[in-house]
Structure 1
Amino acid sequence: MQTIQMTVLGHRLPLKVPPKVEVKKYPKLAYDIIKRPELPAHAKKPSKVGRPLALYFQPKDKDEITKAFELQKRVNAAVNIHDLFSGYINRNDLLKFLSIQSEKYLNLWERHLQRERQNELHKNALMWIYSRPQNMEMKTRQKYLRKRKIQHKIDRRRKFLSYQRRLQKFNAVCARRLEKVRPHKDLLDAFQPKKTGPSAYERKMAAIFIQKYIKGWLVRTKYNRIKIKSVDHGASLLLVVKQYRNMMTRLRRRFNAPQEQIPLVFSELEDWLDKKKKYEDLFTKRAFQKFITRNELINLFEDCNHYPSQHDIKRIWALINKDSSVKLPDKLKKHQVLELAFTMYPPLGARLDNRSIHLSTWRKPIVEGEEGQKYILYKHPILKKADIQVVGDLIAKSFLEREQSKV
C-alpha cells in the first residue's frame, strides 16, 4: 500500500492508496474538497487587518514548514470579534462544521478511490479475457457451437415447412369433401353462419368505455352545478357541505334515528340546496325587518306548496325545542323558519324513511312525495271522479284491520 500526505485545514493527514492506481494530487485540498457555504452579502467578513496570513505553498526548509504549520493553525483558530458579536459567526459552530465537512469529504474521497480501484480491476480482467490466446481446443469448441446453431435453424425451418404442407393437404381434403355434398354445405352455412363484427368481449369493453366517459361527464357537470348553487349559501363549498351535514344530523337526532355518518350524495345535496334557496327567497318576499309574523307562516308554506295545519306547526316547534310547553313566538327569523320547514318536510339526505311527523292521510294525501292538497283545493284536471263503491270497500277494509289489530 502506498501512503501519501494530504493537507486538510492546515493539518497533514496520511492516506493509504492501493498500488497501480493514479491518484490526483491536490495542492489546495482544503479548498477543493471542502466547499464551504457562501455567506450572504450582509454577512461577509470585513478585511482582516493585522491578522496573520496563511501560506498556501510548501516551503522546503523544516523550520519554515514548522512555522507555516503553526501559522496555519493560528489562522484557523482566530476569531473575528466583530462578526462574533454581530451574530454572524459562532466559533464553536464554525469549528464543528469544518470538522464534520472534512470527515465527510475525506470519506467521499476514499469511497471514490475504492470505486476507481474496483473499476480498474474489472477492466483489467476483461482485457485479459479478451486478449488471451486461443488454443486449438477453444477454436474447435467455437466451430462446433456455430455448426450446431446453424443446424438448429435448419431443423426449425424444416418443421415449419412440414406443418404448412400438412395444413394445405388437410384444407384440400376438406374442400373436396364439401364439393361432393353441396346441399350439406348450404345447410351448414345457413345454420352456422360465419361470425362477423365485434365479439362479445369487445362489445362489453366498448360499453364500459362509453359509460366511463358519459358518467364522468355527468358527475363533473353535477359537481359544477352544485358549486354554482353553493355560492348563495356560504363562502365556500366546504362550509356549505358542513352546514348540510350538521342539519341532517340534527334532523336524525330529533326523530330518534340511529346516528351514522352522513354520506355526501350530489343529488341529495342539490335537492337540499334547491329547497333551501326556495324557502329563503319566499321568506325574503314576505319578511319585514328580517322576520315574519306567526300569522304569515301558513301563507309562506302555501307559497312553497306545503299545507300544514297549526297543530302540525306547534308539534314541530315543540320537537325542535324539546319542550312541549314552549309556544311559537309572534315573530320568526329566517333560521327558525328553515328549521321548521326542514323538520316538517325532511330532505332526502336525512334518510328518515317513515319517521317524519308529516304523513299521508285521507284528508291530506301525499302521492310520490308531493302533497295532493294543492290538487284538491284548486280542482286540478288530473283528478278523476272516484267510484264510491271502491272507496266504501277500502274504508270498510281499513276499519276491519283496525279492529283486528286491537283484539
Structure 2
Amino acid sequence: MSDTHQHSIRFVRETMLPQAEPPVAERGIVKWMRQNLFSNITNTVLTLLAILAIYNLAVGTLPWLLNGIWDAPSIRVCREILDGKTGGCFAVLTDRWNQLLFGFKYPAGEYWRPSVAFVLLFVAAAPVMFFKYLPRQLLIFTAIYPFVAYWLIWGGPILSPIVALLGFGAGYLVWNRLVASSFAAGFFGAIVAAAVTWFVGGMIVDAIAPENPMLSAVPSRDMGGFMLNMILGVVCVSLSIPFGIALALGRQSSMPIIKWICVIFIEFVRGVPLITLLFVANVVLAYFLPPGATFDLIIRVIIMITAFASAYIAEVIRGGLAALPRGQYEAADSLGLDYPQAMRLIILPQALKISIPGIVNVAVGLFKDTTLVSVISMFDLVGMIRGPILASTDWNGVYWELFGFAALLFFVVCYGISQYSQWLERELATDHR
C-alpha cells in the first residue's frame, strides 16, 4: 500500500475530548459585569457614577447606623453617650415601639389580640393568593376571618360578629336564590335580608349580651399606630376591588341610568383630593345622620377611602375590559352564556389578568395614603410620630430615626405587594408559554 493511500484513510474518534473551560471573560461574575455594567462606554460611565454615589451615601450613613444608641431614656442622654460623635438615637424605637405599632391608648395587656389577628391575616389570605396550590376548603376560614379579626381587635360580645356573619350569609342565600331570575331582584333582596338579620340580631345581642364579655371592648378612638394603617389598608383594598369591578361594569352598561350614575361617581371622586374626602368623613357625614345617632369615625374613613380607591380601580379594570378583543365577547354569546356567566367565566378573568399592574399600583398608593388620616386627628403611625412622641420633652428633636422606621415599615409592605404581583403575573402568563 502506497504512502499516499495510507494518508487518505480517515480516523473516527471513539471517545469525546474532555470539555474545556470557557474563557474567563465568558463565565461567572466577570461575564455578568461585562454584560450588565460595562457593556459600552455609556454604561461604564453610568456604572462608575453610581458606584461613586453609593460610596458617598455609605460614608455618610454607615457611621450614623453603626454608632447608634439603642438604650437611653431620652435624647439628652443619647447625646451625652455619643459625646459629639455621629450616631443615631435609636433608643426612641425601643422606648416607644408599642406606641408606634399600637397607639398610645390601646391597652398594653391586649397587644396579643391585634398581633394574633395580623398572623391570621396571612392564613386567611393564603387560599386567595396561592389558589393553585392550596385546597379550596380553606376559603371557609377566609370568609369568616373578617369577623374573627374584628372581634379580636375591637373585643366586646362574641355575638356581635356572629350576627354580622349571619347577615352576610342570609344575604348570600337570597342572592343565590333570586339572581337567576333577575340581577336587580337578587341584589336588593340580598340587601334587605342582610339588613333584617342585622336589625333583629342587634336587638337580641343588646338583650342578652353579658356584662363581662370574653374580650374587653376597645373603642375605635383607642386604635392607633401602624395597626391603624394596616386596618385601613387591608379593609379598603379588599373592599375597593369588588366595588371597582362593579363600577367598571356599570360604566359599560347599556342601561343609561346605571351607566351615568357610575360615570358621575367615578369622575367626581377622581376629581376630588383624598384629603378633602377625609375631612368630609370627619365633619360633614355627621350632619346627614339622625339626631343622637353616632357613626364610628373609622367606619366613615373606610367608606371614603374605599370610594376613592374604587373609582381608580374601576378605570384600571375598564382599561382591561377594553383591551380584550371583541371575539371574546362573541365567543361567550356563541356558547349561549348569559351576561353574568360570560363576565364570570370568560371576560373578567382575562380583564383582571391584564389589570394586575394597575390594580397593584392603586393598592400600593392607597396603603401609603392611609397616613393622611393624621390630618383629622387619627393617631396612625405618622400621627403618633408627629403628635405624642415628638411632643414629649424626652424625644423632641428625633426625626430621622422615627420617620426612617416608618418608611421601612411601609417599604416592606409595599415591596411585598409588588413582588407578589410580579409572581402572580408570571403564574397567569399562560398566553406566552
Bin of the TM-score, shorter chain as denominator length: under 0.3
Q: Which of the pair is proportionally richer in strand?
A: 1
Query: Would you tell me which structure has more helix in proportion to its own residues?
Result: 2
| Normalised TM-score (structure 2) | 0.17
Higher relative contact order (CA 8 A, sep 6+): 2
